[in-house]
Every structure is written in C-alpha cells, then in structure tokens.
C-alpha cells in the first residue's frame, strides 16, 4: 500500500502522487491506496479505458488531474465508482470520443470539472451535454468550458445541474445564447462569457439573468457588440443591473459610426430605429392585418348580396328566360335540319 510507481513522485504525508511528463501510455497499475491528489499530466495516454481507476484500490482519491495527456478517447466506466472523487481536470486533451457512461450510471460525487481546450470536436460536445443532462453530475458546482472555440451550445445543456455555482464559457466563439437555458440554476453565482463573439443578448436571456437570485458576477468583456436597435434591451438592463463586472468598459464593435462607444452611454438618439428590426414579427403583423382586411371585404360583399337579394333574383330569372329562349331557338333549328321534309319546306318558303 505504501509503494510508489516507477516514474512517479509520491508524497505520502500530503497523500499526493505526481506522474508528470514521463511519457506514460497507461495509468500506473500500482498506485498507492492512500492517494488523495493524483497528477498524471503531460504524458501520452491516448485512451482511458473502463476501470482505469478501480475504486477498491483508490477509495480516497479526491482530486484527479489528467490534463495535457494527448487523450483522444474516454471509454464508458473509465471514471466510475470513485466514491471520493470531487475534482477532475481533462483540460488540454484533443478528445474525439467521450462516452456518455464515463461516470457509470449510479451517479458521481464530482463537484468540479475542467475541460478547457478539450471540446474541439462537436461530437464530444454533444456527448458531454448528454452526460450533464443525465443527472449523473447533480453535485457539480464548478464547470469550466473555456478555450474550446464553441459557436453554439446544445439546447438544455445545463438544466440538470442544480448545484452549479460557477460556469466559465470564456474565450470561445459564442455568437448567441438564444437556445441556452439557465433556468433551474438557482445556485449559480458566477457566469463568465467574456472574449466571445456575442453581438447582442435578447430579452429572453436577460429575463433569465434577472431570475437567478444568486447570480452576482457576469463577465461580458471583449465581445463584438452590434449597436443597432436590437441592443436597446441590453443597454437598459446594463444600466439597471449590478451583476455585470466592468460594464463601463463594454463598447460597440459595429457599425463603424458607433465603434468604441460605451454601451452605457448609448441613447435612443444614437440608434436609427425608424424601421423594425424584428422581421418575423413584422411579417406576422402584416399577415394578421391582411387577414382582417380580407375578412372585412368578404363581410361587405355578403352584406351587399343580402341587401340586393330581390334585384339579384330578378336578374337571375331574366338570365334564365333569355337562356331558355335561346336554347329553344337552337332546338327548333336542330329539328328542321334533322328532317329533310322540313328542310325542303323551309327552302321553298324562303324562295
């Protein structure tokens, strides 16, 4: 139990084992059972198989750092049944496969998860969303997803994390949060959205921020804010909210005439809002108006028909009589042409 694996450094008093930059290709099988803090970083593990950290040998493992190991695959059950695991760092690994059952099916006590620069593959992001939504990490209080180049987040990704307090989405390429739900994150205290590509935050997102009672720190710096009519709600929220850190430094990136202008100093006269910016709502209003006009025209037409019903009835009778006289003339001529005797008689009478 007190042995130390080759190529590793063991500090029994601190209950720490470090296997750093040793070109390891697998997790050492002879880790001491006393270990609480395990650092296996800067190696070449490539794959983390099922049962890589057996619970019976590591009952006290609390902090596990696997960053920078060139990991590409984490298989089902690789991190399952570790009863004391609270912190996990998988940052800096080029993951292409992450099993949704990586923590098993019985739940994990994990509280902190770091995946900085490990979600470049979209399939891995979807797998992570499946893990988070499954409820297996309901104790998670800190989630770090920075430096992943994320454009959009899967819908409902954070809905099963009721204990989450810190969420770091900084240094990505997020262009919007329209499909992201923060509902249910009643414990969320810190949200970092800095250094992304956000152009505006819609009213729905702002309403969610207002509804999070514990949220006190929101980072929005270094985003590409588009200062047109759509930003009015964001500006109004910034002026009334005390949640945003360094909000005085937020400036416009577009259009050129607004470049560098502080968002807090924008007024209605700075924005040309003569034309509606919400085209779908505008079209919907137009369709409703068109339907009302057509219904009104139809009602007037029916009213005219009702008021002139006698004249219309007389006109229809006249049309019917005229058509009947015309048809009788055709019928008479047909009988004459069909009977040779009547034809000769008609010819003689004409002469």
**Each residue of 175-225: pLDDT tens digit?**
999 889 998 899 999 999 999 999 999 999 999 999 999 999 999 999 999
Q: What's the mean per-residue pLDDT of the chain?
A: 89
Query: Would you state the pLDDT for residue 266?
Result: 94
**Each residue of 110-154: pLDDT tens digit?**
999 999 999 999 999 999 999 999 999 999 999 999 999 999 999
Query: Would you state the pLDDT for residue 339?
Result: 60
Could you tell me if 191 and 214 are in contact, meaning their C-beta atoms sit under 8 angstroms apart? no
Q: Which among 217, 203, 213, 154 has a CA at the least distance from the CA of 183?
A: 213
Query: Would you state the pLDDT for residue 340?
Result: 60
Could you tell me if 261 and 252 are in contact, meaning their C-beta atoms sit under 8 angstroms apart? yes
Query: Would you state the pLDDT for residue 107?
Result: 86
d(CA 62, CA 109) in angstroms, rounded, equals 10
- Other CB atoms within 10 Å distance of the CB of residue 283: 11
pLDDT-derived band of residue 351, with 50, 70 and 90 as boundaries?
A: very low
d(CA 302, CA 257) in angstroms, rounded, equals 56
Query: Would you state the pLDDT for residue 240?
Result: 94
Q: What is the pTM of this model?
A: 0.77
Residue 282 sits at φ, ψ, to 5 deg, of: -65, -45
Query: Would you state the pLDDT for residue 156?
Result: 92
Query: Would you state the pLDDT for residue 279?
Result: 54
pLDDT-derived band of residue 303, with 50, 70 and 90 as boundaries?
A: confident
9-270 homologous superfamily = Ribonuclease Inhibitor (3.80.10.10)
- Other CB atoms within 10 Å distance of the CB of residue 32: 19
Sign of the C-alpha dihedral, residues 235, 239, 243, 245?
positive
Of the two residues 272 and 347, the one the predictor is more confident about is 272
**Each residue of 157-172: pLDDT tens digit?**
999 999 999 999 999 9
Residue corresponding to tokens 């298989």 = 75
Q: Give me the mean pLDDT over the 68-72 stretch.
A: 97
With 0-12 CB in 10 A as exposed, 13-18 as middle and 19+ as buried, what is 338?
exposed
Map out the domains of the chain as residue ranges.
Answer: 9-270, 281-331
For residue 29, whether the previous peptide bond is cis, meaning omega lies within 30 degrees of 0, is no
Residue corresponding to tokens 């720190």 = 217
3-state DSSP assignment of residue 48:
strand
């Amino acid at each position: 139990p007190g042995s130390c694996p080759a190529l590793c450094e063991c500090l029994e008093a601190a209950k720490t084992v470090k296997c750093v930059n040793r070109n390891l290709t697998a997790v050492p099988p002879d880790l001491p059972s006393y270990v609480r803090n395990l650092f296996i970083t800067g190696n070449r593990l490539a794959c983390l198989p099922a049962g890589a950290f057996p619970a019976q040998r590591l009952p006290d493992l609390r902090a596990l750092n696997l960053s920078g190991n060139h990991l590409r695959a984490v298989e089902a059950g690789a991190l399952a049944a570790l009863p004391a695991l609270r912190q996990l760092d998988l940052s800096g690994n080029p993951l292409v496969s992450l099993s949704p059952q990586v923590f098993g099916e019985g739940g994990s006590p994990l509280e902190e998860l770091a995946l900085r620069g490990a979600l470049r593959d979209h399939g891995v992001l979807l797998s992570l969303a499946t893990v988070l939504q499954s409820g297996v990490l309901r104790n998670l209080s800190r989630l770090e997803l920075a430096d992943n180049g994320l454009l959009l987040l899967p819908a409902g990704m954070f809905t099963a994390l009721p204990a989450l307090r810190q969420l770091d989405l900084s240094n990505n390429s997020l262009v919007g949060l329209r499909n992201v739900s923060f509902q249910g994150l009643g414990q969320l205290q810190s949200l970092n959205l800095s250094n992304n590509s956000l152009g505006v935050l819609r009213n729905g997102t702002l309403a969610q921020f207002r509804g999070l009672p514990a949220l006190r720190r929101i980072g929005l710096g270094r985003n590409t804010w588009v200062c047109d009519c759509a930003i009015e709600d964001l500006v109004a929220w910034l002026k009334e909210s005390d949640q945003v850190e360094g909000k005085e430094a937020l400036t416009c990136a577009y259009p050129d005439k607004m470049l560098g202008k502080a968002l807090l100093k924008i007024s209605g006269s700075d924005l040309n809002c003569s034309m509606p910016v919400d085209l779908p709502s505008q079209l919907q209003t137009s369709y409703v108006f068109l339907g009302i006009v057509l219904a009104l025209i139809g009602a007037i037409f029916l009213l005219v028909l009702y008021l002139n019903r006698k004249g219309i009835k007389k006109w229809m009778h006249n049309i019917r009589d005229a058509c009947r006289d015309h048809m009788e003339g055709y019928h008479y001529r047909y009988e004459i042409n069909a009977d040779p005797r009547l034809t000769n008689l008609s010819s003689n009478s004409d002469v």
